[in-house]
Copies of this chain bind each other. A is one copy, B any other.
């Protein structure tokens, strides 16, 4: 029998999973600071919910894993956290608005595998329902800055608005009924390049060569934010989306107005944004680290009342953020620990007594381990050093007779004889407080 993983899936051994837990903890912490509450939805959803015309659109349905239960019911694995969230809001009408929730969980897409794309991956989402105002976007942009500051990397936050983009597309004379199709094509700009996008606009949608050129020229306009605001206003005049962007940019520093940002999902109705690593090429990471936008219609459409549930959300990719942190640590020659253990106890011929000391340390909340196989000092010291453990405690008979142990700081190499209680107190202060 061939032992292998399912195609497009990954295992994460401790060295990597520790980084992933750190990233998830950081994001969760940011979300909670901003008053977002946790919520959990199932991975299994009814297929009709996932495939609703109000949901992600036909592109994403091609990549949706489909399955049945024993009762032959049609089910699917969720492809994002937004559609299940919309279902929750629709099914729980008594929730106080605005409802701010976060969710951290796995989503599934049965798509082609490219570098950095997997069939199951984690999303970390925060969404606000019930607030039409740009102040909701302000909170999400502030969370974004907080998350990346905590992770310790510089990012570009690209922002656009679907209403602005729609108006720009219409301004060149493209038929309104082709709007969504055109935007789906524009969304590929980063991946396929300008010429391929033009070709697809012309060949697949029937846009004229002239209109196609004009549209690309507009969305690729170069300039700083204020030049872009001016440029766009000249073309489309007054526009709700543009007005909203102005307010958002006036309140949050460091955003880039990106006229060519389109976002592929059909449910977006207003602000859209996507985050990219500054100098991503140096890291080998040019895909987005997160994204999101406003979807004011989806939840209402689910319910049958399309005005009452304006919503806006943000989504961070846990996998790519963990990769960023790993590469960053490598670049900075940081020692990456492959264990959560802070203190390693090495028994020198007194295994049972050493285990008692280990239990005492654990009782104080100290992450402590000991070699259950009772190997020799050299092997264990070598292991502790390689694993990146900070403290080793030697427990030997002679010292124990005086209730003492030897503490070794693995970073400085310093060793010190002290009583078990002194050692416990020191480690407790050092590691817990």
| A positions within 8 Å CB-CB of B | 1-14, 17-18, 20-21, 29, 32-46, 48-49, 52, 65-67, 69-71, 73, 75, 87-88, 90-92, 95-98, 100-101, 106, 108, 110, 119-120, 128, 130-131, 133, 135-136, 138-139, 142, 146, 302-303, 338-341, 355, 359, 362, 365-373, 383
A14-B37, A33-B365 given; A73·B42 CB < 8 A: no
For the complex formed, measure the closest distance between the CB of A85 and the CB atoms of chain B, giving whole angstroms. Answer: 10
Chain B residues within 8 Å of A119, by CB: 44, 69
- Whether A17 pairs with B3 at a CB distance below 8 angstroms is no
Closest B residue, CB atoms, query A67: B67
Would A20 and B2 count as touching, CB distance under 8 A? Answer: no
- A41 contacts across to B, CB distance below 8 A: 11-12
Do the beta carbons of A373 and B43 come within 8 Å of each other?
Answer: no
Alpha-carbon distance A286/B6, docked complex (angstroms): 37
Q: Which of B18, B39, B373 contacts A14 (CB 8 A)?
A: B39
Given A130-B373, A362-B34, A372-B135, does the pair A42, B9 have CB atoms closer than 8 Å? yes
Which of A5, A131, A371 is most buried by chain B, counting CB atoms within 10 A of its CB?
A5
Whole-angstrom CA separation of A131 from B101 in the bound complex: 43
Residue of B nearest to A49 (CB): B3
Residue on B nearest A99 in the bound complex, by CB: B14
Give the number of copies in the complex.
Answer: 2
Question: Looking at A32, A37, A108, A338, which has the most chain B CB atoms within 10 Å of its CB?
Answer: A37
Tell me whether A69 and B6 are in contact (CB under 8 A). yes
CB pair B34–A17 under 8 Å, yes or no, is no
| CB proximity of A353 to chain B, nearest CB, Å | 13
Say yes or no: B142 contacts A1, CB within 8 Å: no
Question: What residues of chain B lie closer than 8 Å to A130, measured between beta carbons?
Answer: 373
Most buried by B among A17, A52, A92, A97: A17
Closest partner residue, chain B, to A52 (CB atom): B1
Q: Would B73 and A69 count as touching, CB distance under 8 A? A: no
Partner of A96, one of B18, B46, B106, B383: B383
Partner of A372, one of B14, B42, B133, B373: B133
**Which residues of B are found within 8 Å of A5, using beta-carbon distances?**
42, 45-46, 87
Q: Which chain B residue lies CB-closest to A130?
A: B373
- A3, A34, A35, A40: most-surrounded residue (chain B CB, <10 A): A35
Partner of A302, one of B3, B108, B139: B3
- CB pair B372–A128 under 8 Å, yes or no, is yes
Cβ contact within 8 Å between A120 and B43: yes
Q: Do A110 and B69 touch (CB < 8 A)?
A: yes
Q: Are B39 and A367 in contact (CB under 8 A)?
A: no
* Identity of the chain B residue whose Cβ is nearest the Cβ of A142 in the assembled complex: B359
A242 to B258, CA, bound (A): 71
Q: What are 14 A-B interface contacts by the 8 Å CB criterion?
A: A6-B45, A6-B69, A6-B73, A7-B73, A8-B69, A10-B42, A11-B39, A18-B37, A21-B38, A35-B367, A43-B106, A43-B108, A69-B119, A136-B372
Q: List the B side residues contacting A46 at CB < 8 Å.
A: 4-6
**Top 7 A-B pairs ranked by shortest CB distance?**
A35-B369, A9-B42, A14-B37, A67-B67, A12-B40, A17-B38, A6-B44
For A34, A38, A42, A52, the residue with the greatest tally of chain B CB atoms inside 10 Å of its CB is A42
**Once the chains bind, are A101 and B14 in contact (CB under 8 Å)?**
yes
- Taken together as a complex, chains A and B put the C-alpha atoms of A42 and B146 apart, in Å, by 29
A81 → chain B closest CB, angstroms: 12
A73 nearest in chain B by CB position: B7
Contact indicator B34/A92 (Cβ below 8 Å): no
Which residues of chain B are within 8 angstroms of A366 by Cβ–Cβ distance?
A: 33
Are A3 and B91 neighbours in the complex by a CB distance under 8 Å?
Answer: yes
Closest chain B residue to A133, Cβ basis = B372
- Find A108's partner among B44, B52, B96 (CB 8 Å cutoff): B44
Residue of B nearest to A97 (CB): B373
Provided the pairs A9-B44, A35-B341 are in contact, do residues A69 and B65 lie with their beta carbons within 8 angstroms?
A: yes
Task: Identify which of B88, B120, B365 contacts A42 (C-beta below 8 A).
Answer: B120
Contact A40 B11 (CB under 8 A): yes
